[in-house]
Amino acid sequence: MLIHNKQIAIVGGGPGGLTLARLLQLKGANVKVYERDFDKNARVQGSPLDMHEESGWAALRKAGLIDEFKKNVRKGADKKIIVNERAEIIFSDHTDEPREDLHNEPARPEIDRGSLRKIFLEALQPGTVVWNSHFISMEKQNEGRLLHFKNGSSAYADVVIAADGANSKIRPYLTNIKAFYSGVTMVEINIDEAAKAIPDIYTLLNGGKVMAFGNGKCLLGGQKGNGGLGFYASFKPAENWAVTSGLDYADKTQLLAWFKQEYSEWSGIWYQLFENATMPVIPRPICCMPLNQSWETLPNLTLLGDAAHVMPPFAGEGANTSMFDALELSECLTADQYDTLQEAIFAYEVSMRKRAATAAKQSLENGERMHSEGALEKMLAVFGS
């Protein structure tokens, strides 16, 4: 095995990084995961994840974690309604029979990010994750790299895998290609104890998700496992809107006034989101890597997940693609068919970039559809089929 007696450093303990660590340990590799969170009890941000049969499910099966995953699936969270700007339900699949795949498993089961992380952490060997390790720099040393962290510690690795997300600090060591603005910005809104705080919207969701379309804008939201709701107000401003808007993102009064103006034709029911939001809300310009990106393969450094191919969230492929990256990279690194690590990494990168470009193209197209005139009718056609 090419990585026999080699130390592997995975920087980033998200779904992709932890999946890779688990898969490599199953093959007997020496792996450390360096994660910036202070410890395992750090709150994991973001909306729930739905696992796709051909990617997320495939990685979980290979990792031997399907049974644990099923115990943590949030039943009904994959159900959705589509509404107009007045919150009138136009489409619902809440009464549909559950779809199952060929393995008699839910088609796209949902799980909270924190629960997924816990499953992987408990499956890894003790001491695999080195917490409070915020990567700041690295340098070449012998045939590998010496990594330096914000807490003053350093660590050597023969092979480094960047799984440190969209703002990866390791990516520039491999390529200077940068993401471009997709044209869409999402304002993230979180509401705690939603049943009490916003009962009308909580009831509307009925434990699942909502997609609201109108006037070239969206509201996308869903239930979280902790009783809260997470929403995104999604629209198409200038690229630097988050900086130049003049909004104080911790000021509910300002934000509600902004929403009333920006979403002027939308029902007052949505005002509850800003009136009861946990402050601050977070503006997120949505970016995407060029679909034709490429770089020279190195023998001791590669990327996976958002560090490699950040893309819009409008196809639900982000975490799934990251986990499949981990599956494919683990197989390349442990295969007998390659003579060198560089050859193995090259094979992975070629396949990874091709897959990611396909997913990103779909996400970009979905984003345009969702923010276009007539988006409601277009999305009804998609889900109706």
8 near 32, Cβ under 8 Å?
yes
Residue numbers in the known binding site for FAD are 50, 113, 306
- How far from each other are the two terminal CA atoms of the chain, in whole angstroms? 47
Ramachandran class of 193: left when φ > 0, alpha when ψ lies in -120 to 50, beta otherwise: left
Q: Is residue 95 part of a domain?
A: no
pLDDT at site 183: 97
Measured N-to-C along each axis, helices 318-334 and 341-370 cross at an angle, to the nearest 10 degrees, of 170
Q: How many Cα atoms occupy the beta-carbon half-sphere of 39 within 13 Å?
A: 1
Beta strands in the chain (DSSP E): 7-11, 30-34, 49-50, 80-84, 89-92, 110-111, 129-130, 135-141, 144-149, 154-157, 159-162, 180-191, 209-214, 217-223, 229-235, 282-288, 301-303
Q: What is the CATH number of the domain that holds 203?
A: 3.30.9.30
197 token code pair: 């705080």
DSSP assignment of 146-199, as one string? EEEETTS-EEEESEEEE---TT-SSGGGT-----EEEEEEEEEEEESSHHHH-H
Radius of gyration, alpha carbons of the chain: 21
Residues 66 and 150 in one domain: yes
Pick the last residue of a domain from 252, 269, 288: 288
Please count the structural domains in the chain: 2
Do 33 and 137 lie in one domain? The reply is: yes
H or E element in which residue 273 lies: helix 271-275
- Residue 379, both tokens: 């999305």
Provide the angle, in degrees to the nearest 10, between the axes of the packed helices 15-26 and 113-123.
20
pLDDT of residue 31: 98
Q: Of 358, 360, 293, 304, which is closest to residue 332 (Cα–Cα)?
A: 304
Of 257, 288, 319, the position where a domain reaches its end is 288
Burial class (CB in 10 A: 0-12, 13-18, 19+), 72: middle
Q: Are residues 47 and 117 in the same domain?
A: yes
Residue numbers belonging to the annotated binding site: 43, 50, 113, 306
Give, for all 385 residues of the chain, the pLDDT tens digit. Answer: 889 999 999 999 999 999 999 999 999 999 999 999 999 888 766 677 888 888 888 999 999 999 999 888 877 777 889 999 999 999 998 876 555 443 555 557 788 888 899 999 999 999 999 999 999 999 999 999 999 999 999 999 999 999 999 999 999 999 999 999 999 999 999 999 999 999 999 999 988 899 999 999 999 998 877 788 999 999 999 999 999 999 999 999 999 999 999 999 999 999 999 999 999 999 999 999 999 999 999 999 999 999 999 999 998 888 899 999 999 999 999 999 999 999 999 999 999 999 999 999 999 999 999 999 999 999 999 877 5
81 falls within a domain = no
Instruction: Give CA separation, 82 vs 4, 125, 206, 223, in Å.
Output: 51, 43, 12, 15
Reported as type and span, the H/E element at residue 367 is helix 341-370
Contact between residue 333 and residue 24 where contact means Cβ atoms under 8 Å apart:
yes
The packing angle between helices 375-384 and 341-370, to 10°, is 120
Amino acid sitting at position 258: W
The amino acid sitting at 118 is: K
Q: What angle do CA 32, 33, 34 make, to 5 degrees?
A: 115
Q: What is the pLDDT of residue 105?
A: 52
Question: Strand, helix or coil at 244?
Answer: helix
> Residue 218 belongs to what H/E stretch?
strand 217-223
Identify whether residues 45 and 166 lie together within a single domain: yes
**Containing structural domain, residue 45:** 7-74+111-178+290-365
pLDDT the model gives residue 98: 53
| 242-268 burial code (b ≥16 CB/10 A, e <16) | beebebebeeeeebbebbeeebeebee
* Residues 184 and 213 both lie in one domain: yes
What is the structure's pLDDT at 102?
38
Say yes or no: 302 and 193 in one domain: no
Residue numbers in the known binding site for NADPH are 43
CATH code of the domain containing 47:
3.50.50.60
Per-residue pLDDT, 332: 97
pLDDT value of residue 207: 85
> Do 273 and 335 share a domain, yes or no?
no
Give yes or no: residues 198 and 261 share one domain: yes
DSSP H/E element including 320: helix 318-334
Looking at the structure, tell me whether residues 295 and 164 fall in a common domain.
yes
